[in-house]
Amino acid sequence: MNAVIQRVRGWSIRDAGILLVFLALVFGLWLVSPGHHFLSVNNVLLILVQTTINGILAMGMMFVIISGEIDLSVGSTIGLAGVVAAMLAHPGEYPVIVPILAALLVGALVGLLNGIGVAYGAIPSFIVTLGTMTAVRGLALIVSGGAPIFNVSETFEAVASARIGRFPVMAIYLLVIFLVCAFVLRRTVYGRRVYAVGGNPVAAEVSGVNVKRSKVSVFVIAGLLAGFCGVLLASRTISGAPTAGESYELDAIAAVVIGGVSMSGGRGRASGVLIGALMIAVIANGLDILGIDANFQRVVKGAIIVTAVLLDVKARRRK
């Protein structure tokens, strides 16, 4: 009980505000949806599935942004990892663990390249990851011959489509990854170093933190989780499309920013990021139910990102 009370006290007013806005949004959509369909069991489970890939991607992006950097290449990494996984997932060729590990390796290598470029090349992360975003997408098109890879095994298909009762296994992946990321950030020395590097890299260096190694590691985490998202997307769509994951990095950044992570680094929580990812899925799902044009959703997302960054800037100025 004491642990729960301490945890609630640890929440800032902004953290509580994010949760209240999310609950108000859910209530509003439930109120206006035809037949109050929005909170039906089937639709809630659908929202969880729709949240999974962006939620996992956002967890990796969270590490990068808390360390004071940004990663624009995760969407392209999803495309390349999905293509590689689908090529190794044909029926009767390899056990299902092989395409999964291959996709994770691809994601980790992309992250490693980004991290080395930023930490040891002293190149701004925006530039490095912009370059790898284009190069990795091109590589996905070359490897796949410019066309989606079909004919994956049923076992591979079940990686994303399996259910435990009515509960989708994809939501379990998100929950497990969220818990691990939250634990690492808040309860380990590594997590505290990531905050220190993002808050003040010079002070962190003086305190004995290996800033360069920390920077490389956060990009590897982001790439690794992007590789896993590539597996999930290829499994869910039963194909490895080289164009898959386009603009996913923007949704991940939006979830992180909405979730209260400072774009300047050094501050943020995994719980806020999870709520941010849920909020994006809830908005998209709610607007679909209300029959509002899908293009309008982009306008809403853009407005939310700008508002969240504006609130963050104002909060930092007050301090």
Consecutive H or E run containing 183 = helix 169-187
How large is the average pLDDT for residues 205-212?
A: 94
At 45-67, the pLDDT tens digits run: 999 999 999 999 999 999 999 99
Q: At residue 194, does pLDDT exceed 60?
A: yes
pTM of the model: 0.92
Given this model, what pLDDT does residue 1 score? 43
Amino acid 303: pLDDT? 80
Q: How far does CA 115 lie from the centroid of its chain?
A: 18
Beta-bridge partners for 167: 164
Closest Cα to residue 276, out of 256, 299, 300?
256
Highest mean pLDDT among 38-42, 75-79, 265-269, 294-298: 75-79
- Residue from 192, 227, 222 nearest 207 by CA: 192
Distance of CA 39 to the CA centre of its chain: 24
d(CA 239, CA 166): 24
For residue range 212-263, list pLDDT tens digits in order: 999 999 999 999 999 999 999 999 999 999 999 998 999 999 899 888 898 8
User: Where do the H-state alpha helices sit in 238-293?
Assistant: 248-258, 270-289
Nearest one of 228, 217, 246, 237 to 81, comparing CA atoms: 228
Question: pLDDT grade, residue 9 (50/70/90)?
Answer: low
Across 27-45, average pLDDT: 91
Under 8 Å between Cβ of 188 and 65: no
Q: Is the pLDDT of residue 155 over 80?
A: yes
The pLDDT value recorded for residue 180 is 98
Question: Which of 88-92, 111-115, 277-281, 300-304 is the least confident region?
Answer: 300-304
